[in-house]
C-alpha cells in the first residue's frame, strides 16, 4: 500500500529489532507497523480500539504472523504496558484521542488519556531500557500565531485541550530524555492523510470526511469560510520521519521537530480538487460555523527535521492525494 520503498530508504536498519507501536490499530500507527514488518522488525501493537480498527491489520497480519503481536488494551494499564514493552528497542507512541472539538467537550478525560497515558508509557519505557521513544506531537501546538511558516522556536499557543495535551507530552519527552537513561524525539505532524484514515467517525479529518461525502453524492461540509489553509502531508512522509527519528545515530534529547511537506492549500481548494477527482465537479461544499479550537493557517518549516534526522518529504501532496482517493474508492466500493 505504501508509495515509498522502505528498503531503499531504510535498508537493514530495523532488521531483527523490536518495536512497540502504541495506537498501532489507528491510521498512522498501522502504517508504521506495516513499514517496520516489511523491514524485518518484530512489532508489538497496544491499542484499546477507542479509535482504531483491527481491520487495519488486514494487509499484513497473516503474512507476519510470527513477527506481529496485538495487545488489546489501554496504555493506562501498567500490566499491559509492561507486557508490551518486553525486549523493545524502540517505541513509536501514536496512542491518543485525536479530535480537537471533542477535546473541548471532554478536557479532563483527554488529559488522562493523552497526557497521563504518555507519562505512564515513559515510566515503563525507562524500566524496560528502551533506546528511544518517538512521539506523535502536533502542529496544533502553534495555535493561531500569524507567522508562517511555523518554526519550532516560536512560542506555543494551544487553542484546545488536545493541543495543550500534546505540548505537555512534548515537555515530558524532553524531561525524561534529560533525567533518565532514555532518548526521545517529538515529531509535530501537520495534517497527515492517506490510506486507513477513518472516514466514518463524527470527527473525521477533512480529507477522509470529504471522501465519504463525495462517495455518497453529498456536499462536503467546511467549517468556516474555507479560506483556512493546511500543510497536508501524505502518511508515508510521517512513517519515514518516525523511522529516521528512531534510527538517528546521535541523541535527539527530546527535541521537537515539524514533519510536513512545506506546502499549503486552502480547504476550499481541496474540496474543489477532490470533487473533480471523484468525477463530481458539480458538487460544491456547504459552509458551517467555524469550530472552537480550529486554527486558521498552517505551514511548516522543515529545516530542523532535516538537520536532526535528515528528513525530507518523499511523497508530494498531489501524488499522495491520488493514492488516497483511489484507496477510499476501493474501500467504499467493497463495503
Ligand X SMILES: NC(=O)c1ccc[n+]([C@@H]2O[C@H](COP(=O)([O-])OP(=O)(O)OC[C@H]3O[C@@H](n4cnc5c(N)ncnc54)[C@H](O)[C@@H]3O)[C@@H](O)[C@H]2O)c1
Measured from the CB atom, is 96 or 125 closer to ligand X? Answer: 96
**At 311, which helix (H) or strand (E)?**
none
β-partners of residue 159 are none
Query: Apex CA 61: angle with CA 57 and CA 67, to 5°?
Result: 125
C-alpha cell at 39: 523491514
Residue ranges in 128-234 assigned as alpha helix (H): 161-179, 206-215
The nearest distance, CB 287 to ligand X, in angstroms, is 22
Q: How many CA atoms lie within 13 A of 296 on its CB side?
A: 9
- Shortest distance, CB of residue 328 to ligand X, whole angstroms? 15
Is 162 labeled as catalytic in the residue annotation? Answer: yes
79 burial level (CB within 10 Å; 0-12, 13-18, 19+): exposed
Q: C-beta of 268: minimal distance to ligand X in Å?
A: 19
Helix (H, G, I), strand (E, B) or coil at 46: strand
Q: Strands, DSSP E only, in the chain?
A: 18-22, 42-47, 68-72, 90-93, 132-138, 183-189, 192-193, 221-223, 229-230, 233-234, 256-259, 265-266, 286-288
Q: Residue 189 or 283: which CB sits closer to ligand X?
A: 189
Catalytic residue among 162, 176, 189, 328: 162
CB of 179 to ligand X, least distance (A): 23
Nearer Cβ to ligand X (31/283): 31
Q: What one-character DSSP code corresponds to residue 51? A: S
State how far the Cα of 68 lies from the Cα of 54, in Å rounded to an integer: 13
Q: Which residues bind ligand X (CB under 6 A)?
A: 22-23, 25-29, 46-52, 74-76, 94-98, 113, 117, 136, 138, 189, 191-192, 198, 205
Cβ 297 to ligand X, closest distance in Å? 16
Q: How far is the CB of 48 from ligand X (least distance, A)?
A: 4
- For residues 49 and 251, which CB has a smaller minimum distance to ligand X in the complex? 49
Distance (Å, rounded) from C-alpha 333 to C-alpha 215? 9
Q: 158: closest CA among 110, 199, 120, 95?
A: 110
Q: Which is nearer to ligand X, 4 or 95 (CB)?
A: 95
Q: Give min distance, CB of 127 to ligand X, in A.
A: 18
By C-alpha distance, which of 139, 100, 115 is closest to 305? 139
CA distance 221 to 235: 23
Cβ neighbors of 19 (< 8 A, separation 6 or more) are 36, 41, 42, 43, 44, 88, 89, 90, 91, 92, 246
Backbone conformation region of residue 311, classed left if phi is above 0, alpha if psi is from -120 to 50, else beta: beta
Catalytic residue annotation: 162
Amino acid at each position: 500500500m505504501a508509495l515509498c520503498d522502505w528498503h531503499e530508504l531504510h535498508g537493514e536498519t530495523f532488521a531483527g529489532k523490536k518495536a512497540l507501536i502504541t495506537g498501532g490499530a489507528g491510521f498512522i500507527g498501522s502504517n508504521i507497523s506495516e513499514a517496520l514488518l516489511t523491514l524485518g522488525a518484530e512489532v508489538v501493537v497496544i491499542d484499546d480500539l477507542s479509535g482504531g480498527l483491527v481491520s487495519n491489520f488486514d494487509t499484513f497480519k497473516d503474512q507476519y504472523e510470527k513477527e506481529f503481536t496485538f495487545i488489546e488494551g489501554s496504555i493506562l494499564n501498567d500490566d499491559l504496558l509492561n507486557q508490551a514493552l518486553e525486549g523493545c528497542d524502540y517505541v513509536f507512541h501514536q496512542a491518543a484521542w485525536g479530535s480537537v472539538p471533542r477535546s473541548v467537550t471532554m478536557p479532563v478525560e483527554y488529559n488522562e488519556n493523552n497526557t497521563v497515558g504518555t507519562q505512564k508509557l515513559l515510566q515503563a519505557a525507562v524500566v524496560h531500557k528502551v533506546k528511544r521513544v518517538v512521539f506523535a506531537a502536533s502542529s496544533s501546538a502553534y495555535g493561531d500565531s500569524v507567522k508562517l511558516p511555523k518554526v519550532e522556536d516560536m512560542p506555543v499557543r494551544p487553542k484546545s485541550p488536545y493541543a495543550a495535551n500534546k505540548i505537555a507530552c512534548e515537555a515530558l519527552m524532553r524531561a525524561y530524555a534529560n533525567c533518565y537513561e532514555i532518548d526521545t524525539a517529538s515529531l509535530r505532524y501537520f495534517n497527515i492523510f492517506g490510506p486507513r484514515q477513518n472516514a466514518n467517525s463524527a470527527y473525521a479529518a477533512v480529507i477522509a470526511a470529504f471522501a465519504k461525502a463525495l462517495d455518497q453524492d453529498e456536499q462536503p461540509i467546511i467549517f468556516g469560510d474555507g479560506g483556512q489553509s493546511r500543510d497536508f502531508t501524505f502518511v508515508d512522509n510521517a512513517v519515514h520521519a518516525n523511522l529516521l527519528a528512531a534510527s538517528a545515530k546521535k541523541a535527539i534529547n527530546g527535541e521537537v521537530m515539524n514533519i510536513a511537506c512545506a506546502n499549503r492549500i486552502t480547504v476550499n481548494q481541496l474540496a474543489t480538487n477532490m470533487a473533480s477527482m471523484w468525477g463530481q465537479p458539480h458538487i460544491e461544499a456547504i459552509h458551517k460555523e467555524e469550530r472552537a479550537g480550529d486554527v486558521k493557517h498552517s505551514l511548516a518549516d522543515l529545516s530542523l527535521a532535516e538537520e536532526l534526522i535528515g528528513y525530507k518529504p518523499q511523497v508530494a501532496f498531489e501524488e499522495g492525494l491520488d493514492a488516497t482517493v483511489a484507496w477510499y474508492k476501493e474501500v467504499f466500493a467493497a463495503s
